[in-house]
Amino acid sequence: MFMTNSDHTVAIIVAAGRGTRAGGDLPKQWQMLNGQPVLAHTLAAFAKMPRVLVIHPDDRARAEAIAGDALIVEGGATRDASVMNALLALEGAAPRKVLIHDGARPLVSAALIGRVLDALDRSPAAAPALAVTDALWTGVQGRVTGTRDRAGLYRAQTPQGFHFVAILAAHRAHPGGAADDVEVARAAGLDVTIVEGEEDNLKLTFPGDFSRAAAILKGRGMDLRLGNGFDVHAFCPGDHVWLCGVKVPHGKGLLGHSDADVGMHALTDAIYGALAMGDIGRHFPPSDPQWKGAESHIFLRHAADLARSNGYAIANCDVTLICERPKIGPHAEAMRAALAAIMSTELARVSVKATTSEQLGFTGREEGIAAIATAALMKS
């Protein structure tokens, strides 16, 4: 069961739609925006609170790769059915407030979220909107047929916030087919407070919206972090070594508490370092027997998920393996692919290379393998 303090707010990110108008081979929430899926940006905007991610059943593998600590719930045939599934998943935890947000709105700001939460302290429901300022026409077949008064009209946005008990009851009573959750709330008699929306909080709908969103992210400036990692493992009896997620035949194995993947360990520590969140030993203590013999992809995936949940994407990473043997070159591309898949990032952002120590030191004497890694994280 999803656990949260009853005083907390939970964010429900609705991302079960198919978004065909945006074009592309994937639904819009899974298309790339500045190096990571749209939905990763959206999740990061709510990183400071518990989150429920509502997805299409076909998207579970993608969702698990970016969800971090968010609860994943499968959606229904309609938007309100999807929201209802999320609300029911929260019923046991019974948070005080919920924010319901479109997964395709990745640019929502902390200030806007704060305005909605503040309004919920004095109202059972609140939502951001922008007053309509343009002239309004009606039209048929490309010709203007009339005008409409724009006074009192608003463009609705999300997140739309509610007292949990009230919106759950409203959804249970609603027949379905609502355009958004404000419509459901009003049908139940709830007063909805309008808070100031933001022009940048656009909903990605058409192909051109992606370039606009990318420009907005660029204009906000980049928070760039660098981290380094270093690891060493000694050789032991065996017939293979694990390096950067690839099983490499060798006349020896590597000694370690886990699977001793020295390259992956160095990269994991580089990501933790960039986040200023310690190292593998802090998150996966070797004194804990459950991690004995663990596969190192568990550690690396945790580090990458932690970066995403704090709003960072992997700009690039570079791993250098230091050994006389085995030869890394024939396996380097497979290693890049394995690391990229584990971190759910683009192959072009991952580098794996090797060097020798010219027969000097413990690596030169073939007593073990060392690895150094650098990771750059970016927040838009």
pLDDT tens column, 237-250: 999 999 999 999 99
Q: Kindly tell me the burial class for residue 58, based on how many C-beta atoms sit within 10 Å of its own C-beta (0-12, 13-18, 19 or more).
A: exposed
Least confident of 40-44, 125-129, 170-174: 40-44
What pLDDT was estimated at residue 75? 94
- State the pLDDT at residue 180: 96
Residue 287 has pLDDT above 90, yes or no: no
* Phi-psi region at 207: left, alpha or beta (left = phi > 0; alpha = psi -120 to 50): alpha
DSSP of 82-98: HHHHHHHHHTTT--SEE
d(CA 332, CA 351): 9
Cα end-to-end span (Å), the chain: 33
Q: Which of 228, 227, 199 is nearest to 378 (CA)?
A: 227
d(CA 74, CA 56): 6
Q: Encoding tokens for residue 304?
A: 């990458």
Mean pLDDT of the chain: 93
Q: Residue 216: what pLDDT?
A: 87
Binning pLDDT at 50, 70 and 90, where does residue 2 land? low
125 Cβ contact list (under 8 Å, min separation 6)? 160, 161, 162, 163, 166, 167, 182, 185, 190, 191, 192, 193
- 218, 380 Cβ separation under 8 angstroms: yes
Within 13 Å of residue 313, how many CA atoms lie on the same side as its CB? Answer: 22
Dist CA 291 CA 268 (whole Å): 15
Look at 19 and 226; give whichever has higher pLDDT. Answer: 226
User: What ranges do the domains of the chain cover?
Assistant: 9-219, 223-379
pTM above 0.75?
Answer: no
User: Checking DSSP bridges between strand 51-55 and strand 9-15, what pairing results, if any?
Assistant: parallel
For the stretch 329-336, contacts whose Cβ atoms lie closer than 8 Å and that sit 24 or more positions apart, written own/partner, are 329/354, 331/243, 331/246, 331/248, 334/246, 335/243, 335/244, 335/245, 335/246, 335/263, 336/244
Which tens digits make up the pLDDT trace of 293-315?
889 999 999 999 999 888 888 99
Q: Report the amino acid identity of residue 197.
A: G
Q: Which of 155-159, 286-290, 293-297 has the highest mean pLDDT?
A: 155-159
Once rounded to an integer, what is the mean pLDDT over residues 25-34?
90
pLDDT at residue 380 is higher than 60: no
pLDDT in tens, 200-254: 999 999 999 999 998 888 777 667 899 999 999 999 999 999 999 999 999 999 9
| Residue 223 CB neighbour total at 10 angstroms | 11
Q: 7 pLDDT band (50/70/90 cuts)?
A: low
| β strands within the chain, DSSP E | 9-15, 32-33, 36-37, 51-55, 71-74, 97-102, 125-131, 136-140, 143-148, 154-156, 160-163, 192-196, 223-237, 240-243, 246-249, 252-254, 313-322, 350-355, 368-379
Amino acid letter, residue 170? A
- The least confident of 117-121, 291-295, 376-380 is 376-380
294: DSSP letter: -
What is 9-219's CATH topology? Spore Coat Polysaccharide Biosynthesis Protein SpsA; Chain A (3.90.550)
**223-379 has which fold?**
60s Ribosomal Protein L30; Chain: A; (3.30.1330)
**To which residue do tokens 């998207």 refer?**
59
Kindly indicate the confidence band of residue 195, based on its pLDDT and cuts at 50, 70 and 90.
very high
